[in-house]
A and B are shown apart, each in its own frame.
Chain A
Amino acid sequence: AQSVTQLGSHVSVSEGALVLLRCNYSSSVPPYLFWYVQYPNQGLQLLLKYTSAATLVKGINGFEAEFKKSETSFHLTKPSAHMSDAAEYFCASMNTGFQKLVFGTGTRLLVSP
């Protein structure tokens, strides 16, 4: 069955430091992969998506993610954290049948001054 694993329910960084949020997927066929961000009291917003066109995907707010088939990973990175990046981040996988978006359990990013 399709699944997504996010390592670390909480990640803390200092402002200006590198952000790395980890995501591994489980699928026999590389799926479509997404990162969503959720700010307090809001719904989820799409950060970026992988659709097999390019392995390095750039998203909004300076985030990017690299698809690595050999590692079944799709980690999210940002070179320099900003206070406004504090939020919960969800990795998600969609099968090619377009029936279900499977989410990871989420990683809360905390940014300290």
Chain B
Amino acid sequence: EAQVTQNPRYLITVTGKKLTVTCSQNMNHEYMSWYRQDPGLGLRQIYYSMNVEVTDKGDVPEGYKVSRKEKRNFPLILESPSPNQTSLYFCASSSFGGSSSPLHFGNGTRLTVT
């Protein structure tokens, strides 16, 4: 089954404790992206990757890091989480079959930073 898998689904951590949210897709997609969803703000892009070893900032990259060493994986790293990073995070992927290719989303990771 074609899917984007995020782990964990829920995560509670404390300020300053490094964490990684994993994202993996099995569709051989070139494009991957991370979004955060906050009430009243919709989804905002954190980082995206056009292919292996090619990443770039989205609208809200501060406090986040990503890497794309393999095509299927695109982990999101919070080196020193802060309470304002409490949010619902989504990973998404898409093929490069044309600019109209829709994004496929994971089921989300709900992060709470205390």
Chain A contacts to B: CB under 8 angstroms: 9, 32, 34, 36, 41-46, 49, 51, 90, 94-106
Contacts and interface: CB of A to CB of B under 8 A. Distances in A.
A49 B102 contact: yes
The 6 closest A-B pairs by CB, nearest first: A43-B105, A51-B100, A105-B42, A98-B99, A103-B43, A103-B42
- Interface size on B, as a range, is 20 to 34
A90 to B, nearest CB: 6
Contacts of B101: 98
Contact of B99 (A9, A96, A104, A106): A96
A105 to B, nearest CB: 4
Nearest to B38: A105
15 contacts: A32-B100, A43-B90, A43-B105, A43-B108, A44-B92, A46-B103, A49-B100, A90-B42, A96-B99, A97-B99, A100-B45, A100-B59, A101-B33, A101-B92, A106-B42
A2 to B, nearest CB: 11
Nearest to B59: A100
A10 to B, nearest CB: 11
B51 interface: no
Given A43-B106, A99-B50, 6 more contacts: A9-B40, A43-B92, A49-B100, A94-B99, A94-B100, A105-B42
Given A98-B31, A100-B48, A100-B58, A105 B40 contact: yes
Given A49-B102, A51-B100, A43 B4 contact: yes
Given A43-B4, A43-B108, A44-B90, A101 B42 contact: no
Nearest to A52: B100
Contact of A98 (B59, B90, B92, B96): B96
Nearest to A4: B42
Contacts of A106: 42
A35 to B, nearest CB: 10
Contacts of B98: 51
A45 B59 CA distance: 22
Interface in B1-57: 4, 31, 33, 35, 40-45, 48, 50, 56
